[in-house]
Structure 1
Amino acid sequence: MNIQDNIIALATPSGAGAISVLRISGKEAISIADAHFKSIRKKKLSEQKSHTIHLGHIIDGQKILDEVLVSIFKGPNSYTGENVIEISCHGSPFIQQEILQLFLRNGCRMADAGEFTMRAFLNGKLDLSQAEAVADLIASDNEASHQIAMQQMRGGFSSEIKKLREELLNFASLIELELDFAEEDVEFADRTQFIELLNKIQLVLKRLIDSFAVGNVIKNGIPVAIVGEPNVGKSTLLNALLNEERAIVSDIAGTTRDTIEDEISIGGIGFRFIDTAGIRDTKDVVESIGIKKTFEKIEQAQVVVYLIDSTKLIGNKDFIKNIRLELEKIKNKFPQKPLVIIANKKDQISEDLQDFILTEIADIAHTNAKTKALLIAAKGNSGVEELKNILLEFVNTGALRNNETIITNSRHYDSLLKALEEINHVQDGMANGISSDLLAIDIRQALYHFGEITGEITTDDLLGNIFANFCIGK
């Protein structure tokens, strides 16, 4: 990749639309655009101020390709830090390609995936964690993931890491200085203050590492497995949650033979609901495969919703016993997994019996913080909103409300773990009176891992892996 080239790409999605935007970045971006732009007011783009918009035509010789608006952003006050031109044209795929090919023949090359953002990073407009947040922002599909990406793009996470790195670097410099005076047995770094700093760094790193568990599920959507016996209303509940006929519903037990997934946003957080095949003994080969997949989905889910047919709970001790055994298996195998036990079809029992049913399933649940009991009628949407509120209770949104830094990037998580390991080594070394030269090695490694996050330490392979996941045009 040659970052001295002038690059061009479509910045809006391909296909027909009202308008499309093509972006050019590079030292000669403005002069290249000038050669093929005819202003309606006879303006030359090179003579215009930055951050201005101009109406005119893109021309190929004597041929007019389209009437356009051209926006000028002069470096370093642009997204990439270079001269940038954005051409807003009509959204015909033919027009897009005609303009694109014109500039590819006249001084531009096609941008690689993420190359505009990579140039912004290389030119000091963004650090590496902020650049990665751009991709997360584009991919965000709910309020929570959007909020986290915005916070990271504004530099909330990177500024926290930079501050810790700077404080550690100051002490590291003093310890390195001690090595130059090793024969004189002097200490420039105050060991008491250094221990306090290490404790502070350790607490911050642990908090950030712990936040990844929440951040990762928020970013990717929280998987919720809807399980239970056949014909208890699992597909009906899924349709009620999604507010559409997503799953086939019938009175025939075993209708759902494979898992069906869809996602909705509840309280700004994405939940991915998985409607599974009913659990029962069966000789049907296809249905058996579906039941096997059900148990796989329970293992993958963050929350399990277990449906029971409330009409079968009345005076059926064997049924209740079997349900208890099934739920105990799930709770014993996944003790940390939130479980919602729902008695469905309450509309088919009298109001006098509903309190009895709710007491019965609460008793089955042995209700605690991670197990909830609920009585609903999925077919009539009764109790569905209460279920949504219960699901939100299981998600730790306190960090979001308090605007705390939440980690969603696995690369950052890995670097934080490695940095914490090195800090722990330094603390152990301090406690055991290890010499300054050995302490310095662990401190350098911790600084290295901090630098990996913000991009102060990078390799071509690392940048290639990160920006290859971006869309072309960003």
Structure 2
Amino acid sequence: MISNDTIVALSTPPGIGAIGVIRLSGIDAIRITNDVFSGKDLLQQESHTIHFGTIKDGKQVIDEVLVSLFVAPKSYTKENVVEISCHGSNYIIQQIISLLIKKGATAAKPGEFTLRAFLNGSLDLSQAEAVADLISSDSAAAHQVAMNQLRGGFSNELNVLRDQLIHFASMIELELDFAEEDVEFANRDQLQALIVKINGVINKLIRSFELGNVIKTGINTVIAGRPNAGKSTLLNALLNDDRAIVSEIAGTTRDTIEEVLNIGGINFRLIDTAGIREATDAIEAIGVEKTMQKINQSALLVYLFDVVNLSVSEIKEDIASLQRPGVTMLAIANKIDLSSNESLEELDLPSDIIFMAI
């Protein structure tokens, strides 16, 4: 149910900044703003115009501002919308919002502007979700997915198929009305082709969910292997930072260490883990258990092994125990400069495992 209240909230992030933007939406948004604005009569101004003036509480000037007007239905929410750009002082922002509430506005709930845009038909559900995704996007890939969805990428395709289905449904209903006439209005071959096409689109959307979720949240990339394989060294090298403690003592890493690395516009959540072996104490046992949990949750598993100190049978045993259905596995041979090529040739890894040496 759409509320008739005029809502107000800070649109820019909270905290001190150069500019703060306060947004109002509702039938009385322009009137309420006009009551506290000293400058032009906002009620007489055109939509999509900006006006300079001051916000006053009685005779007291709170701030000099720019007021942007968006007259319904030509606005984000399809209601009257006002955006007040003021100086980014927390005190000024709170004073203006309190004054607007005193004049009749109501504090907006989280997401209420987008909710009104959805309820008023400005956005469909897919586009409304894309607004939140766009705001929280922290990589080029996540930004591109959100922009495509916001522009109606999914909606447009589904609407075309929906219109075609409605057309065929109407043709079939027409046939039922003239059942005794033995006439055919709906082409059965075209209907069957449309159903096959719709199934294909639906399956494509189902498959795209996993990819979209990975792009939004980042690819869980677990670095696993035996103690002293060089996992923490690899993490530090990828991050170009001494994020993990490195030493020659086996079992130095007891807990998981997580960092985000952006590669080609996609976030990889790198997770350094405790070395996999028979634990020597209770704390290390917990670390190994957490390692296995992270491996089960991974989308990309980087198995790092010491090619000098491990035999071919031990490497194959590790790979067999670490492989998971649907998880891409990358096997990296460390200390290759100290090893012979013959040992690598004996590995004969499965074709679905990506292999490299460092």
Q: In 2, are the aligned partners of 1:342 and 1:374 still within 8 Å (CA)? A: yes
Q: In 1, distance between residues paired with 2:83 and 2:34?
A: 12
The secondary structure found in structure 2 opposite 1:288 is: helix
Tell me the residue number matched to 1:203.
200
Code of the aligned partner of 1:306:
Y
Matched, 1:344 2:334: yes
Q: In 2, are the aligned partners of 1:52 and 1:73 still within 8 Å (CA)? A: yes
The secondary structure found in structure 1 opposite 2:347 is: helix
Q: In 1, distance between residues paired with 2:60 and 2:200?
A: 65
Change (3 A) 1:53 1:166: same
Deviations 1:199-239 (A, max 9, x none): 22222222222222322212221111100111222112112
The secondary structure found in structure 2 opposite 1:131 is: helix
Equivalences for 1:78-157 in 2 at 5 Å?
Answer: 78-157=75-154
Tell me the residue number matched to 1:13.
13
Tell me the residue number matched to 1:163.
160
Matched, 1:320 2:302: no
Deviations 1:34-54 (A, max 9, x none): 111112xxx112222222222
Q: In 2, distance between residues paired with 1:362 and 1:153?
A: 50
The correspondence for 2:291, drawn from 291, 294, 303, is 294
Tell me the residue number matched to 1:285.
282
Code of the aligned partner of 1:70:
V
Change (3 A) 1:363 1:163: farther
Deviations 1:374-410 (A, max 9, x none): 222xxxxxxxxxxxxxxxxxxxxxxxxxxxxxxxxxx
Change (3 A) 1:77 1:233: same
Q: In 2, distance between residues paired with 1:100 and 1:345?
A: 62
Q: In 2, distance between residues paired with 1:217 and 1:54?
A: 44
Change (3 A) 1:267 1:361: farther
**Greater shift in the superposed pair: 299-308 or 247-256:** 247-256
Q: In 2, distance between residues paired with 1:134 and 1:10?
A: 17
Tell me the residue number matched to 2:353.
371
Deviations 1:100-156 (A, max 9, x none): 111111110011221111211222222221111111111111111111110111111
Q: In 1, distance between residues paired with 2:175 and 2:57?
A: 68
The correspondence for 1:215, drawn from 212, 217, 231, is 212
TM-score normalised per structure 1: 0.72
Q: In 2, distance between residues paired with 1:306 and 1:121?
A: 46
Q: In 1, distance between residues paired with 2:104 and 2:285?
A: 61
**Greater shift in the superposed pair: 207-216 or 269-278:** 207-216
Tell me the residue number matched to 2:343.
360
Residue 311 of structure 1 and its aligned partner are, at CA, apart by 3.6
Residue 76 of structure 1 and its aligned partner are, at CA, apart by 1.2
Tell me the residue number matched to 1:37.
37
Equivalences for 1:210-289 in 2 at 5 Å?
Answer: 210-289=207-286
Q: In 2, are the aligned partners of 1:25 and 1:80 still within 8 Å (CA)? A: yes
Residue 182 of structure 1 and its aligned partner are, at CA, apart by 4.2
Residue 361 of structure 1 and its aligned partner are, at CA, apart by 3.9
Tell me the residue number matched to 1:306.
303
- Name the Cα RMSD after superposition: 1.9
Residue 365 of structure 1 and its aligned partner are, at CA, apart by 5.4
Residue 75 of structure 1 and its aligned partner are, at CA, apart by 1.4
Change (3 A) 1:280 1:26: same
Q: In 1, distance between residues paired with 2:2 and 2:334?
A: 62
Equivalences for 1:428-447 in 2 at 5 Å?
Answer: none
Q: In 1, are the aligned partners of 2:279 and 2:288 still within 8 Å (CA)? A: no
Structure having the larger proportion of residues in strand: 2
Deviations 1:264-285 (A, max 9, x none): 2111111111111111112210
Q: In 2, distance between residues paired with 1:360 and 1:108?
A: 75
Q: In 2, distance between residues paired with 1:49 and 1:280?
A: 72
Q: In 1, are the aligned partners of 2:134 and 2:147 still within 8 Å (CA)? A: yes
TM-score normalised per structure 2: 0.94
The secondary structure found in structure 1 opposite 2:73 is: coil
The secondary structure found in structure 2 opposite 1:262 is: strand
Tell me the residue number matched to 1:4.
4
Q: How many residues align?
A: 358
Q: In 2, are the aligned partners of 1:57 and 1:64 still within 8 Å (CA)? A: yes
The secondary structure found in structure 2 opposite 1:35 is: helix
Q: In 2, are the aligned partners of 1:365 and 1:371 still within 8 Å (CA)? A: no
Residue 184 of structure 1 and its aligned partner are, at CA, apart by 5.0
Code of the aligned partner of 1:325:
E
Higher relative contact order (CA 8 A, sep 6+): 1
Deviations 1:401-437 (A, max 9, x none): xxxxxxxxxxxxxxxxxxxxxxxxxxxxxxxxxxxxx
Q: In 1, distance between residues paired with 2:6 and 2:78?
A: 13
Tell me the residue number matched to 1:329.
321
Code of the aligned partner of 2:83:
E
**Greater shift in the superposed pair: 45-54 or 154-163:** 45-54
Q: In 1, are the aligned partners of 2:25 and 2:81 still within 8 Å (CA)? A: yes
Q: In 2, distance between residues paired with 1:233 and 1:364?
A: 20
Q: In 2, are the aligned partners of 1:365 and 1:373 still within 8 Å (CA)? A: no
Q: In 2, are the aligned partners of 1:20 and 1:96 still within 8 Å (CA)? A: yes
Q: In 2, are the aligned partners of 1:29 and 1:84 still within 8 Å (CA)? A: yes
